[in-house]
Amino acid sequence: MRRAVYVLDTGAANLASMECALRRAGARTAVGLDPTRAKDAFALVLPGVGAFGPAAQQLQSAGLDVVLQRRIDEGAPTLAVCLGMQLLSRASAESKGASGIRVFDIRAERFSAGVRTPHLGWSPIEADSTCTLLRSGWAAFAHSYRLAEAPVGWQVAWCERGERFVAALERGSVLACQFHPELSGAFGARLLGDWLARASGGNPRAGPGIRLRQSVRGVR
């Protein structure tokens, strides 16, 4: 039986959207908040949606902050989406006093006044040439807070809408997206497919496998 991607249930995330997208990419999924399963999963997803403070507290009380820190330190395949990416930072202006998982020593800030907030819909992102999973393209966003700077040691894709912010970060098999790959049409499906292939031991950019050949069709 194929191993399941473990999707963390933070209580208010768009789990169904993420599960459907992973299944369309050929993965099996399991959902829960069990730290042992999260530690042992071959691939782990921390989905988005919700508010920073309550979600951070839920992860901490389940002991998942430590699991996530360790997985990301070790480079175990992990995907954090939207609020999930912000939760990896030190803190957020959304929930003053709440502490994040502190993978990045950065605070998530609200978009500046004068920038239409929330940022809802599609924007172009530009991936640095050093990225190996992320590509430039159009991605679907739904957020009011963002990282204005990128942590050292991560490859970055940027988005610009009056001010530049981090659209996504990658380091090996760890991927953190401010946008929603599960809602980003063919662009997002390809990214999820490539991340799953890498999590399964493949190297999506070097030599496409059978499933991958489909997922990278039409690449620039």
Partner 1 sequence: MRRLRPTVRILPCLDVRDGRVVKGVRFAELVDAGDPVDLAARYAAEGADEVCVLDISATGRGRDPDVQLVSRVRAALNVPLLVGGGVRTLEQARALFDAGADKVALNSAAVKNPGLIDALAARYGCQSVVLALDARRSARVPSGFEHVARSGSADTGLDAVAFAQNAECRGVGEVIATSVDRDGTGTGYELELLRALRKAVHVPLIASGGGRRTADFVAAAKAGADALLAASLFHFGRQTVAGLKRALARRGIALRPLETQGDLP
Q: How far apart are CA 177 and CA 170, in angstroms?
A: 9
Q: Which of 32, 75, 121, 201 binds partner 1 (CB under 8 A)?
A: 121
- For residue 197, state whether it binds partner 1 (rule: CB under 8 A): no
Residue range at the interface with partner 1 (CB under 8 A); choices 33-41, 153-161, 168-176, 204-212: 153-161
Q: Which is nearer to partner 1, 24 or 70 (CB)?
A: 24
Residues 6+ apart with CB under 8 A from 106: 89, 90, 147, 149, 151
Distances (CA, A) of 109 to 114, 122, 140, 148, 212: 14, 20, 19, 7, 36
Which tokens belong to 188?
């997002």
Residue 217 CB, nearest approach to partner 1 (Å): 11
**Residue 82 annotated in active site:** yes
Q: Which is nearer to partner 1, 4 or 142 (CB)?
A: 142
Q: Which is nearer to partner 1, 107 or 164 (CB)?
A: 164
Smallest gap from residue 168 Cβ to partner 1 (A): 14
Q: Which two tokens stand for residue 103?
A: 């993978």
User: 3-class SS at 61?
Assistant: helix
Separation between Cα atoms, residue 202 and residue 204, nearest integer Å: 6
Q: Is 182 a catalytic residue?
A: yes
The answer to the question of residue 216 lying near partner 1 (CB under 8 A) is no
CA distance 184 to 141: 8
Q: DSSP letter at 34?
A: -
How long, in residues, is the chain?
A: 220
Q: If binding is defined by CB under 8 A, does position 17 make contact with partner 1?
A: yes
DSSP string, 114-131: TS-SSEEEEEEEEE-TT-
Stretch of 10-18, 57-65, 170-178, 208-216 contacting partner 1, by CB under 8 A = 10-18
C-beta of 42 vs 158, nearer to partner 1: 158
DSSP codes, 122-187: EEEEEE-TT-SS--SEEEEEEESEE-SS--TT-EEEEEESSSEEEEEEEETTEEEESS-GGGSHHH
The residue annotated as part of the active site, out of 82, 131, 159, 177, is 82
Q: Is 143 a catalytic residue?
A: no
Q: By CB under 8 A, is residue 57 in contact with partner 1?
A: no
Name the residue nearer to partner 1 (CB basis): 76 or 167.
167
33 binds partner 1 (CB under 8 A): no
Catalytic residue numbers read: 82, 180, 182
Residue ranges that bind partner 1, judged by CB under 8 A: 11-12, 14-17, 20-21, 24, 49-51, 54, 83, 116-118, 120-124, 126, 135-138, 140, 142-144, 158, 160-162, 164, 180, 182-190, 218-220
